[in-house]
Amino acid sequence: MLVEVEKLVKKPFSLVLAYPRPDEAVLRDRIRQLKELGISHVEFCGRKSIGKLNVLGKGHVGVVLAAKTESGLKVALKIRRVDADRENLGHEAEMLKLANSVGVGPKLLAHTGDVIVMEFIEGQHLPEWLSTGPDKDHVVEVLRELFEKCWKLDQIGLDHGELSRAHSHVLVEPRGPSAFEPRLVDFESASTRRRPSNFTSICQYVFIGGLSGLVARIMSLPDREDLIRALRAYKAQMGREELDRVLEACGLIKHI
């Protein structure tokens, strides 16, 4: 359902715009911000719901929505919850911009204090995509590219922070008729002040933790001890060579 930005001041839409306590002044201010950002419509779709309205996501800091710009581009919005423990979305925008500098994350298009406008990513969450029975070759490609992206974030010292339970933070986007690209989302908990553990977190999640059962139906899992040894070496150096040793242990690249 596509709704004009001006109409968001009314129920039931107001609850999404200023979740969980819509207030007239806040609503007007947010509509002003959306217009300033060039947003003309919001689209209520997605797997989560607020009341009877569908949204893409609802976390502790924001609500994620699909939207349309005045020029007709489909985008994703993150709108700050009024009860969020962050005063504005500046931190997330800054982290996303940094991730974008190495080709990771939805492209940051614009932001204000309460709204981030970013590239809309089509696609399923990684566990859901794996459940659709994709070709092993595609799975190998997606995992290798996902790991490379996490390595790039490690390289620039940006820790995503939520990749050990990555079920909702990796989307698999179709790219052409027979290829897929893994896309990382949600840089709200990201930081440049922690030691980055993107690659080790995602690798453990995929091959040892929560996703390993699904992955085992498609490809053989690496020997646990070998993998842990390779990950330990990676942790110490974080270099390309250590990365490749892990990829090799996981069967994602041929012998090096």
Ligand X SMILES: Nc1ncnc2c1ncn2[C@@H]1O[C@H](COP(=O)(O)OP(=O)(O)O)[C@@H](O)[C@H]1O
Residue of 114, 154, 186, 242 that binds Mg ion (CB under 5 A): 186
Nearer of residues 75 and 230 to Mg ion, judged by Cβ: 75
Task: Give the contact letters, 152-171, x = binds to ligand X (CB under 6 A), - = no.
Answer: ----------------xx--
Residue of 37, 39, 64, 184 that binds ligand X (CB under 6 A): 64
Residue of 27, 53, 61, 172 that binds ligand X (CB under 6 A): 61
Residue 159 interacts, among ligand X, Mg ion, none and using kind-specific CB cut-offs from 5 to 8 Å, with none
Q: Does position 92 bind Mg ion by CB under 5 A?
A: no
Q: What minimum distance in Å lies between the beta carbon of 159 and ligand X?
A: 16
Q: Does position 185 bind ligand X by CB under 6 A?
A: yes
Nearer of residues 46 and 134 to ligand X, judged by Cβ: 46
Q: Does position 86 bind ligand X by CB under 6 A?
A: no
Torsion on CA atoms 183, 85, 109, 142, rounded to nearest 10: 0
**Measured between alpha carbons, how far is residue 238 from residues 26, 186, 206 in Å?**
46, 23, 19
Q: What minimum distance in Å lies between the beta carbon of 55 and Mg ion?
A: 13
Q: Does position 114 bind Mg ion by CB under 5 A?
A: no
Q: What minimum distance in Å lies between the beta carbon of 251 and ligand X?
A: 28
Interactions with ligand X, residue window 96-125 (CB under 6 A): 106, 118-121
Q: Does position 44 bind ligand X by CB under 6 A?
A: no
Nearer of residues 40 and 54 to ligand X, judged by Cβ: 54
**Measured between alpha carbons, how far is residue 254 from residues 65, 85, 192 in Å?**
41, 46, 33
Stretch that binds ligand X, among 59-67, 94-102, 129-137, 222-230 (CB under 6 A): 59-67
Q: What minimum distance in Å lies between the beta carbon of 168 and Mg ion?
A: 6
Interactions with Mg ion, residue window 41-80 (CB under 5 A): 59
Q: What is the DSSP string of the chain?
A: -EEEGGGGGSTTTHHHHTTT---HHHHHHHHHHHHHTTEEEEE--SSEEETTEEESEE-SSEEEEEEEETT--EEEEEEE-TT-SSS-SHHHHHHHHHHHTTT-SSPEEEE-SSEEEEE---SEEHHHHHHT---HHHHHHHHHHHHHHHHHHHHTT-B-S--TTGGGTEEEEE-STT-EEEEE---TT-BSSSPP-HHHHHHHHHHTSTTHHHHHTTSPPPPHHHHHHHHHHHHHH--HHHHHHHHHHTTSS---
**Binding stretches for ligand X (CB under 6 A):** 56-59, 61-62, 64, 76, 106, 118-121, 168-169, 185-186, 188
